[in-house]
Structure 1
Amino acid sequence: MRRALITFALAQFLCSFAGSTVNVMISDISRDLDTTVQGVQLAITGFLLVMAVLMIPGGKLTDRFGRKRCFVAGLTLYGAGALLSSLAPGLGVLVVGYSIMQGVGTALLIPPVYILATILFGDITSRAKAFGVISAMGGIGAATGPLIGGFITSAVSWRGAYLVQAVLALVILELGRRWVRDPLPPNTSQRFDFGGAVLSGLGLLLVVLGILAADNNLWLTLGLVLAGALILTWFFVSIRAKERAGKDVLLPTVLFRNRTSNLGLVTQNAQWLMLMGTSFVVSAYLQVVRGYSAVGTGAVFTATTLGLLVSSLGAARFARRRAQRTLILAGFGITITGILLLIGLVSATENIWAFVPGLFVIGFGLGGMLTPSVNIVQSSFEDDLQGEISGLSRSVSNLGSSLGAALAGTILTAGITAAPGRSYTLAMVAVAAAGLIGLAAAALLPRGGPATLPVPPSERRAPTG
């Protein structure tokens, strides 16, 4: 099982790395492909959004076709997309390779990672450790993406960063074939809810597109967000009706009747929104406003990586001494403090070192709460619902990432040339506001002892009729 855990952790690292590494290549890509910062932002948000939209269907497909088979298929598509992106002659091909192919590949391979980890590590303690390793590697991947991507971009080119991803995908694919086993047979009799997949995906897509349109047309933004909300409402009504008729659904409504899990999902969304929002804003500001190179921008993010590593190394010790609710509350408090440091110090001085304290504190805060949030959500349900809750959990997290890049990025790019300092501050304030929402959700979590949060039996498996 240790070998399987290594494979899972590397897969999560690779996908998180892909989401943040492009941030430091904004200037190089826009110059090479003759596009704009907004064009590259579209590709980044597209990648994150495709993951968010398809993660729920991806989790459901694992039950139908098998966890390992989806894992292998996802890695194959991901690697092919990375290779295509490295050869992109223009923004359109980059969107196809990076945003679509790598996004779809990630949506196929990530749900099996968390489902198989839940099944293979049966007891709470070992499962918490497994989630800790996987989540930590995800956070480290997101944090080191700017540094590694910046180094490769400066030493070779931005295309080299995609080639590295393709090679890593091939290596992980081979490890997965050798070391990963699926203890449960696929449920071939289960029907796939295509209607539910279309409604959920379309609703999420419209919401994020609405946020992206905010700097161009406020009425268009309101219209898209409202349309997305109405379609998502239609989705929930439809799955309830299908359940009553005894049909297979994309997501059983029991997943939304667990208060602990729901609050945990809110914290996950806020965490990844803060991480990706901060990454995009700081990266774009350093390159477009301060004129830093890709490697210089990536070097600044070493502070975030160090913060994540320090808190991740102490995660097991923290979990033994403190309740998961306490760790999440502390994580949000620390991360928000880091954002305030970024705003205050960067506004006070032009020195590059002004970014370091805030980024380190943000990394430390995020590293301490990523694992508890995942464990709370996954452990709220039994094995027969792991496919659904894993897909929902990863979708909510990736939706947070896409909202972070869309919301904070839209605020920044709207005034990055006319009033860069003001735009930077407003974007970071928006990220901090998301942190306050996550903090409020964490405060409502039930109190529990170290390593676990008690979930009432009535909440674990509610009737579906």
Structure 2
Amino acid sequence: MTVPSTPEGAKARQEKRPWPRQVLAPLALAQFVCSFAGSNMTVMIQDISEDLDTTVQGVQTAITVFLLVMAALMIPGGILTDRYGRKRCLVIGLAVYGIGTVLSALAPGLGILILGNSILQGVGTALLIPPVYILTTLLFTNVADRARAFGAIMGMGGVGAAAGPLIGGLIASTISWRAAFVFQALVVALIIVLTRRLDDPLPPDPDRVFDTGGAVLSATGLILVVMGILAADDNAWLMGALLLVGALVLVAFFRWVRAKERAGAQPLLSTSLFRNRTSNLGLITQHTQWLMLMGVSFVVAAYLQVVRGYDAIGTGVIFSASTLGLLVSSLGAERFAKRREQRTLVMAGFAATICGIGVLLAMAHGEPSAWTFVPGLLLIGLGMGVMLTPSVNVVQSSFPEDQQGEISGLSRSVSNLGSSVGTALAGTILVADPAVGPYAVALGVLAFIGLGGFGAAAMLPRTPAPTRHG
């Protein structure tokens, strides 16, 4: 029997599942493997480009397209979870993702790698990630418990992103870069087994209308915008044209949404999602956080390999500093949520991350020792771990249960768009000439963007967003 979507029902669900490890384990691992996929290839750029007889920029394109597909399809993926059920979409997404990893491991050339890694893994991620955040929001109802749950999930996601270079480097150096995709396939198989004990707290809504036109417009607009950024180092006119057309398509999307609402139809997203000031600010911080994390990861990894001559495992070992910092601060998410306002935590995270980038810049001209990168990366990891969880909590807690599918899709789309833009932006500056000058410029741009995120965090309410239920 399904517990009704009421405050009493939510309380009953919380009492029945005080801390369901069988729920958190597959959800946290799902976020881990998707974040890992977005970062582990950064240390294998040279190996992959040589093995597949392509260029560094070709591999960068594969990485960016993977992140872009996630961002473009995350909103439709969130809507599909309402229509077909959260657990079903989670399992289907994992299956598609797993097929993509196997295809990537067997790829004979860049085209197949893009199909497996960028397309299939991207589509699978767009289906499986929204249920992770919807289930977490539905199962854990008070701020501290939800912070603890999101802390575990975001911690694993952050570790996946930060440890991706280390794990990927170890696997690539000791076996082959292809084995990194086999590793992902094994993790996906484990998650599918663990989901057998996962219950969906709400039934599917087969009457939920899927706005195909809105999905096409939103995805097309996002794709054109990021492709415009990618084109910056090749053709300024093409970049401008793509950005302009992309912006026009996104404007058309929002006009489409308003027209459907006026006609009484159900659009892909409700415009009410954008009327919540707290949520809007939280979305800006999420976008900026992932832009900085993935941007810094790409810049430092490319610089270490191309300029300093480190191999994949050496680069991964250096990145373990950020992994350690992120893990330590993420594990304290519940304790931080009880002692500090979410606004304060997000601001502190941005401040630490910007300082970490400053340390990396200050040491860019120093001796070519691995230790010179550790303090900056450690600070960045600590800062990211402090702010990832409260930013997600702010957004998810701003809406009732009946809008969790929409806001989860939007939230993950905004975050993954940040990852995609961060990689594209950093690659555009660095790939043409990854020397000290462009390295410093790329990090400087990321730090400047971080100041914008800090400003958005400063405008968040001084009290945590209230937890509301349908």
TM range (shorter): over 0.9
Quick check: 1:135 aligned with 2:150? no
2:134 maps to amino acid = I
Distance 1:261 1:28 in 2: 41
Quick check: 1:146 aligned with 2:155? no
For residue 111 of structure 2, give the secondary structure of its aligned residue in structure 1.
helix
Is the deviation greater in 429-438 or in 35-44?
A: 429-438
Q: Deviation digits for residues 344-380 of structure 1, max 9, x if unmatched?
A: 1122332221111100000000000000000000000
2:149 maps to amino acid = A
Quick check: 1:202 aligned with 2:220? yes
Alignment of 1:374-453 (within 5 A): 374-416=392-434, 420-448=435-463, 452-453=464-465
1:453 maps to amino acid = A
For residue 28 of structure 1, give the secondary structure of its aligned residue in structure 2.
helix
Normalised TM-score (structure 2): 0.94
Alignment of 1:223-262 (within 5 A): 223-262=241-280
Q: CA offset at residue 51 of structure 1?
A: 0.2
Quick check: 1:219 aligned with 2:237? yes
Alignment check: 8 A CA contact 1:24 1:149 kept = yes
Match of residue 48 from structure 1? 67
2:227 maps to amino acid = L
Match of residue 361 from structure 2? 343
Alignment check: 8 A CA contact 1:325 1:453 kept = no
For residue 189 of structure 2, give the secondary structure of its aligned residue in structure 1.
helix
Match of residue 179 from structure 2? 160
CA RMSD of aligned residues (A): 1.2
Distance 1:339 1:281 in 2: 11
Quick check: 1:21 aligned with 2:40? yes
Alignment check: 8 A CA contact 1:196 1:238 kept = yes
1:62 is aligned, of 60, 78, 81, to 81
1:2 maps to amino acid = R
Q: CA offset at residue 179 of structure 1?
A: 1.8
Q: Deviation digits for residues 188-221 of structure 1, max 9, x if unmatched?
A: 1122100000000011111100000001111211
Alignment of 1:317-396 (within 5 A): 317-396=335-414
Alignment check: 8 A CA contact 1:19 1:142 kept = yes
Name the % identity. 65
Q: CA offset at residue 283 of structure 1?
A: 0.7
Distance 2:350 2:337 in 1: 16
Distance 1:156 1:70 in 2: 33
* Residue ranges of structure 2 left out of the alignment (5+ in a row): 1-19
Match of residue 304 from structure 1? 322
Match of residue 95 from structure 1? 114
Quick check: 1:284 aligned with 2:276? no
Distance 2:139 2:261 in 1: 29
Distance 1:380 1:361 in 2: 30
Q: CA offset at residue 454 of structure 1?
A: 4.4
Distance 1:41 1:147 in 2: 18
Distance 1:335 1:36 in 2: 31
Match of residue 181 from structure 1? 199
Match of residue 169 from structure 1? 188
Alignment check: 8 A CA contact 2:98 2:188 kept = yes
For residue 189 of structure 1, give the secondary structure of its aligned residue in structure 2.
coil
Distance 1:280 1:247 in 2: 43
Distance 1:365 1:260 in 2: 21
1:118 is aligned, of 137, 161, 176, to 137
Q: Deviation digits for residues 105-142 of structure 1, max 9, x if unmatched?
A: 00000000000111122233222211111111100110
Alignment check: 8 A CA contact 1:446 1:454 kept = no
Q: Deviation digits for residues 213-254 of structure 1, max 9, x if unmatched?
A: 001111211111111111111111110110111111110001
Normalised TM-score (structure 1): 0.95
Distance 1:125 1:423 in 2: 43
1:27 maps to amino acid = Q
Runs of 4+ in 1 over 6 A off after TM superposition: none
Alignment check: 8 A CA contact 1:17 1:145 kept = yes
Q: CA offset at residue 315 of structure 1?
A: 2.2
Distance 2:141 2:199 in 1: 15
2:188 maps to amino acid = A
Alignment check: 8 A CA contact 2:91 2:128 kept = yes
Distance 2:331 2:417 in 1: 27
Is the deviation greater in 194-203 or in 306-315?
A: 306-315
Match of residue 311 from structure 2? 293
